[in-house]
Structure 1
Amino acid sequence: MSTRRIYSAPDLARAEQAVAAAREVGLDDDCLSLVARSDIEVGAVPDEMKQADTDMLPAAARGAGLGAAAGAVAGLAAMTFPPLGLTLAGALLGGGAAGALVGSWASALAGASIQEPERRKYEAEIEAGRVLVVVDADDDRQAHLRAPFDQLGLVQLEVDGHATPQA
């Protein structure tokens, strides 16, 4: 079973060395990501290593469903006005389609603005110029990383954001 552990590296060079050590124990780039201050990420962190967890796609799907339902109801309400000349099918389809478009667009915009959890949780670490190394791996591989990460000066962070010594 894969667990997520987050380590704080004092600088980008040591974070990159930590990634190299993780690759040596058999982890691929899908299991690793780096989170840093925007000026560090833009200039030095490769795109495939950046973490990009947002709620955009799930939010768009929820918005499309809810928007379609609301649009269909609005279409039915619009059908009660005879001058519009809407049929039942036209009101349901047109209103549903318009509602789905608006709902998915608005929800995707809102979902994209939500930061990934590590960035929110460890904002002080990131703003201080440290680089987070996020490792998703089983406990055996995590144990193999302990010694090289200690040598590099990485500190494992707890869920509440306080540093803890590695066992």
Structure 2
Amino acid sequence: MRRRLYFVLPDVASARRMLDDLLLARIEERHIRFLAKRGILLPDMPEATVFQKTDLVHGAELGMAIGGMAGVLGGLIVVFFPPEGVSLQLVTILLSALLGALFGAWVASLAASAVPNSRLKAFEKDIEEGKVLMIVDVPFRRTHEIMELVHRTHPEASDHGVEPTFPAFP
């Protein structure tokens, strides 16, 4: 399990030094991301992914739930009020729920990919001012150690909290 840490750094030079320190602390580069105004980050600094910048995941989850419920409702209607001369079984409800969930996830993720991540709304002002947001996913057991490292070596970094635990897959 991993925890996501957020830090706001005053400039790119500070962010670059922070990246080096975290790499020396054996945090893999794939778990460190930066978000700043367009064109500010250095080419060798890992930029935040689409999943971190947008509400894509949240939208897909919501669409899957709504689509699944709509599929169940549609399946129930078709099973209990079948078309003339057709005999449908209860598996129709399961199939329609599955198709509804898939369709809902697809449509909602398309829409959500254009919406900025609501979790990052608190950082918009800092980013517009030219500051750099650093997002670090650290192993649960190293959370305290990494936070201490950042506070000790980079007093200019402002700590903006810890996101709840999430699975460790990439």
- Gaps of at least 5 residues in structure 1 are 160-167
Note if contact 1:63-1:105 (Cα within 8 Å) is conserved in structure 2: yes
The SS at the match of 2:68 is: helix
Aligned to 2:33: 33
Aligned to 2:150: 145
Question: How far does residue 10 in structure 1 lie from its aligned partner after superposition?
Answer: 2.5
* Per-residue deviation, residues 95-120 of structure 1 (Å, max 9, x unmatched): 33442332222332344435162x31
Tell me, in whole angstroms, the C-alpha distance in 1 between the residues paired with 2:82 and 2:123: 55
Note if contact 1:25-1:145 (Cα within 8 Å) is conserved in structure 2: no
* Per-residue deviation, residues 76-98 of structure 1 (Å, max 9, x unmatched): 42452644x44323853663344
**What TM-score do the two structures reach when normalised by structure 1?**
0.66
The SS at the match of 1:88 is: coil
Q: How many residue pairs end up in the alignment?
A: 152
Note if contact 1:6-1:133 (Cα within 8 Å) is conserved in structure 2: yes
Larger Rg: 1
Identity, in percent, stands at 23
Q: Structure 1 counterpart of 2:48, which letter?
A: K
Larger proportion of helix: 1
Inter-CA distance 75–141: structure 2 relative to 1 (3 Å threshold): closer
- Gaps of at least 5 residues in structure 2 are 162-170
Aligned to 1:156: 158
Inter-CA distance 158–88: structure 2 relative to 1 (3 Å threshold): same
Query: Counterparts in 2 of 1:11-160, with a 5 A limit?
Result: 11-40=11-40, 44=43, 46=45, 48-51=46-49, 52-53=51-52, 55-57=55-57, 59-61=59-61, 63-78=63-78, 80=81, 82-83=83-84, 85-89=85-89, 91-92=92-93, 95-112=96-113, 113-115=115-117, 117=119, 119-135=120-136, 136=138, 137-150=142-155, 154-158=156-160
Tell me, in whole angstroms, the C-alpha distance in 1 between the residues paired with 2:18 and 2:70: 50
Aligned to 1:6: 6
**What TM-score do the two structures reach when normalised by structure 2?**
0.65
RMSD, aligned α-carbons: 3.4
Note if contact 1:76-1:88 (Cα within 8 Å) is conserved in structure 2: no
